[in-house]
Structure formats: C-alpha cells, structure tokens
Amino acid sequence: MKKNRILSTVAIGAVLALGLTACGSDPTKASGGSSSQIVVGSASFGESEILAEIYAGALKAKGFNASTHLDIGQREAYLGALSDGTISLFPEYSGNLLAYYDKTSTASAPADVLTALKKVLPATIVALDPSTAEDKDSYNVTAATAAQYGLSSIGDLAKVPNLKLAANPEFKIRSYGIPGLGSVYGVKNVAFTAINDSGGAATLKTLTSGQVNVADIYSTTPSITANHLVTLDDPKHLIAAQNVLPIIRKDHDSAAVDAVINAVSAKLTTAALLQLNTAFYGADKPSAASVAQAWLKANGFA
C-alpha cells in the first residue's frame, strides 16, 4: 500500500531529546559488544529504509553488531528474508501485517490490531512495542476549507455541501473509503474523482485547485505540510491502524535489544515520520543513513 512520494525542500525538524541518563550499568548496553549480528531489513521505499537505519544506528550506539539490508522488496520478500535468517529485524506496519496473516480480521483500533496480530504471528517472530507513528490513508482538506466549514474530523465532512473527494480508484469500494464514509460517519452523497497516483501530484493539484473538497493522501507524505493541509481526525477508526511496529526473529530477541528498539518506538510519531520523509525527499537528496543519524542525534540515541 505504498505510494509515490511528493518531493519537498523542507529540512528535517529537530525534535527535543529526552536525555538518557545512566545509573550504574546500562540495561540497554550490549555486554562487551554482541557477537551475534543483527541485520535490519527494509522494503523498497525511503521511509522503510530510514526506519531500518534508525534501528541499526540505535543498536550500534549501544554496542550491538548491527547492519542493514535495504531495498529487499515487498512483504512476501522481506518476511521470507526474516524467516530464513537473512535479516533479523524489520520495521513493519501493524494493520498491513495483520491483513497479510489474517485477511478476515476486522480489527481497526491500534490496540485491537496489535492484539489480533500477536495471535497470528509465526512463533519465530516477536512483535516489539509499536510506535504511535502511522503511515496510512488519511482524509485531507485545505486549510481554507477546514476554516470555512469548521472541519477537524472525518464526520465533519457532513457539513460540506456537494462534497467531492479524490482518491485512488479502489477507494470507491474499499471499506475505509466511500462505503465507510456513509456507514461509519454518515457522510453520504459523495461525488468521487478517481486519480490513480496514490495521493501524488495530480491528487494534490485537484485538491488545492478546489476541484474537490477532500483527498486521500498518505499520512506521512511531505506535501501535507508543504501545502498546509489539514488531516482530519478519525475517532471511529474507519481506517485501520498502521502503527510502525518493529518485528524481530525470536532467536535474535533479548531484553537488551528490546530496550533499545522500544525506546526508539517511544520517540517515533507520525509528525516525526513526516519530517524524516520531507528531509529524505528534499532538494539535497540525503541518504537514508544521514537522515536517520540526524534523528538519532536529535533524540539522544547517538
């Protein structure tokens, strides 16, 4: 469910770090360095590569023997690599991973998705703490439209006369799209414009030019902040949770590794992901490793 990314020149915003203090021994430190290499994998898009570099960088800073194996491919490929031991750790998305293992699940809220996922994960894979960061479909309006109609959540779209929505063609039939707008939020009689660019440039232009009132754009796409769009809240969880979720091979899992990666997850937010993507796709075109390192330093991990 990944998408084309919108390029932006906005630099990564620094996030205030919480100081990491030590009293006696540090439980997150690899004892004498780890002889077992932890290979962090990524899928074939920038955000996944950045997350992999963040995990690996945080582990290295604590003395672990960590490296990355980037651009593995789609879910079947990287889960296969996790299964056969080519990689040890991977940044996943909770809702999509649940759908992969259980296509019948109706779990939508973050806690429900995680509970359901843990029941169907292979015994060889452990899910660590999820972050609050999510990369998923989101309903977006311009700041002017939000102000005009007092829009803050998806249900508020019922206030908009002659509502027009732009999204990928499948949005017309997906449960989180037009059908869910009516059944979950009571927003009906929506004029739909199909644009097959996954919330890319054509969708953005259609929204900002006023041809539609609302558009589906992935929640960590840089164009959201670059164009001051308002992402509408989804209090009823119409769109299933897609929290960034580290998964690790059980034979590489340990309390020390968990402590490092869970600390990273505690700092990752959707806003942080958006900033990371904005930096990565900016004019300077930095590497995923350099973007990750900047975030690690800003947040006290390096």
pLDDT, tens digit (0-9, with 9 covering 90-100), for 17-75: 333 333 344 555 554 334 489 999 999 999 999 999 999 999 999 999 999 999 999 99
Residue 102 maps to a domain: yes
Q: Is residue 127 part of a domain?
A: yes
Q: Residue 261 has what pLDDT?
A: 99
Instruction: Please indicate, yes or no, if residue 147 is contained in any of the structural domains.
Output: yes
Could you tell me if residue 216 is inside a domain?
A: yes
Q: pLDDT value at position 28?
A: 54
CATH code for the domain of 155: 3.40.190.120
Do residue 119 and residue 267 come from a single domain? yes
Average pLDDT over residues 156-160: 98
pLDDT exceeds cutoff 60 at 121: yes
Question: What's residue 2's pLDDT?
Answer: 47
User: Are 210 and 150 part of one and the same domain?
Assistant: yes
Residue range 260-292, pLDDT digits in tens: 999 999 999 999 999 999 999 998 899 999 999
Let me know whether 108 and 246 are in one domain.
yes
What pLDDT shows up at residue 99?
A: 95
What residues make up the domain containing 147? 139-231
If asked whether residues 64 and 209 sit together in one domain, one would say: no
Is there a domain that residue 14 lies in?
no
Q: Are 302 and 58 in contact (CB under 8 A)?
A: yes
Indicate whether 144 and 106 sit together in one domain: no
Give the end of a domain, one of 231, 265, 288.
231
Mean pLDDT value of segment 119-143: 98
Residues 219 and 290 in one domain: no
Domains: count for the chain: 2
Does the residue 263 lie in any domain? yes
The domain boundary residue, chosen from 231, 260, 286 = 231
pLDDT per residue as tens digits for the range 236-268: 999 999 999 999 999 999 999 999 999 999 999
Asked if the structure places residue 25 within a domain, the reply is no
Question: 123 and 43, same structural domain?
Answer: yes
Asked if residue 143 and residue 127 are part of one domain, the reply reads no
The share of the chain scoring above pLDDT 90, in percent, equals 86
The Cα 302–Cα 296 span in angstroms is: 5
Sequence-distant (6+) residues with CB within 8 A of 258 are 128, 129
**Which one-letter DSSP state was computed for residue 243?**
B
Q: How confident is the model at residue 138 (pLDDT cuts 50, 70, 90)?
A: very high
Task: Compute the distance between CA of residue 228 and CA of residue 140 in angstroms, rounded to an integer.
Answer: 10
Identity of the residue numbered 219: S
Residue 133 has pLDDT above 80, yes or no: yes
Mean pLDDT of 107-117: 98
pLDDT, position 263: 99
Residues 99 and 66 in one domain: yes
Residue 118: HSE in the Cβ half-sphere, 13 Å Cα cutoff: 12
Residue 13 inside a domain? The answer is no
Per-residue pLDDT reduced to its tens digit, 167-217 = 999 999 999 999 999 999 999 999 999 999 999 999 999 999 999 999 999
What is the CATH number for 57?
3.40.190.10
Mean pLDDT over all residues of the chain?
91
Domain shared by 153 and 203, yes or no: yes
Q: What is the mean pLDDT of residues 100-125?
A: 97
Residue 282 tokens, joined:
């900016």
What percent of the chain is modeled with pLDDT above 70? 88
Confidence of residue 15 (pLDDT cuts 50, 70, 90): very low
85 and 209 in one domain? no
The answer to whether residues 223 and 250 belong to one domain is no
Alpha helices in the chain (DSSP H): 46-61, 75-84, 94-101, 110-120, 143-149, 178-185, 201-208, 223-226, 255-267, 270-280, 288-298
